[in-house]
Amino acid sequence: VNPALAEMLGYSQDEMRGMHPWDWDLRFTREEIDAMAAGSTEGCILLETRIRRKDGTTREVEVSATVTEFKGERQFFCMCHDITESKRTEEALGESEAKLKEAQRVAHIGNWEWNATNNTIFWSEELCRLLNFNPNMPMPNYKEHLKLYAPESMERLDAAVKKALQGGEPYDLDLELASPDATRRWIGARGEVLRSGDGTIIGLRGTAQNITERKRNEE
């Protein structure tokens, strides 16, 4: 047992030399270890699990194990990588993303981003809902996106986007969506430029909100 593993589990190296892997909740089955020791399985076992420290607390670890030959004997070789902090970060990000999605759903606001340097396009789930677009399909390019709007709105949006890309001016527009059944739907579209570290315009980002009820009230 090396010092890093002993420190991870809160034991001294001498204490750990007298222990069995099952004493600290290493989640390999005896069948798996016996199979590797007998040479009836190849490669290694790789898993994520929790192991118990001396003080009773647990750590999230990534564990890889295999059987190797050393001085004519087959030996079980195991490495543990502490991933507790990265797992906590993943969980926190997941919670933040879930809260953002819920907030967008309640407010009927979606967001989008287009990076011209690598031509990547992102639409949030709520934006896809607002524009009746299947989120499982590839995101539409700019020309395809324009076709989602009524002719007059299409022209205003196109002019605003070109003006933003040329001079960096943001836009805030009320746009009517194209409708095959004559049902009028509107979104409030806001956009601004994305810039690189040296100030060069490299794309656009923005939001869209369902404002159909507001437009009906105004009319």
Percentage of the residues of the chain whose pLDDT score is greater than 70? 86
Give the integer Cα–Cα distance in Å for 100 and 73: 55
Tokens of 71: 């001085």
pLDDT in tens, 39-64: 555 567 777 888 888 888 888 888 88
Mean pLDDT, residues 30-40 taken together: 63
16 CB contacts (<8 Å, ≥6 apart)? Answer: 1, 5, 6, 9
Give the integer Cα–Cα distance in Å for 178 and 185: 8
Q: What is the pLDDT of residue 106?
A: 65
Q: What is the pLDDT of residue 166?
A: 92
Q: What is the pLDDT of residue 38?
A: 65
Q: What is the pLDDT of residue 102?
A: 74
Q: What is the pLDDT of residue 25?
A: 60
The number of helix segments (H) and strand segments (E) in the chain equals: 8, 8
pLDDT band at 100 (very low <50, low <70, confident <90, very high): low
Tokens of 43: 């490669």
Task: Look at the pTM and tell me if it is higher than 0.85.
Answer: no
Element (H, E) at 3: helix 3-9
Q: For 92-96, 109-113, 119-123, 187-191, which range has the lowest pLDDT when averaged over its residues?
A: 92-96
**Mean pLDDT for all residues in the chain:** 83
Percentage of the residues of the chain whose pLDDT score is greater than 90? 26
**Cβ atoms of 212 and 184 closer than 8 Å:** yes
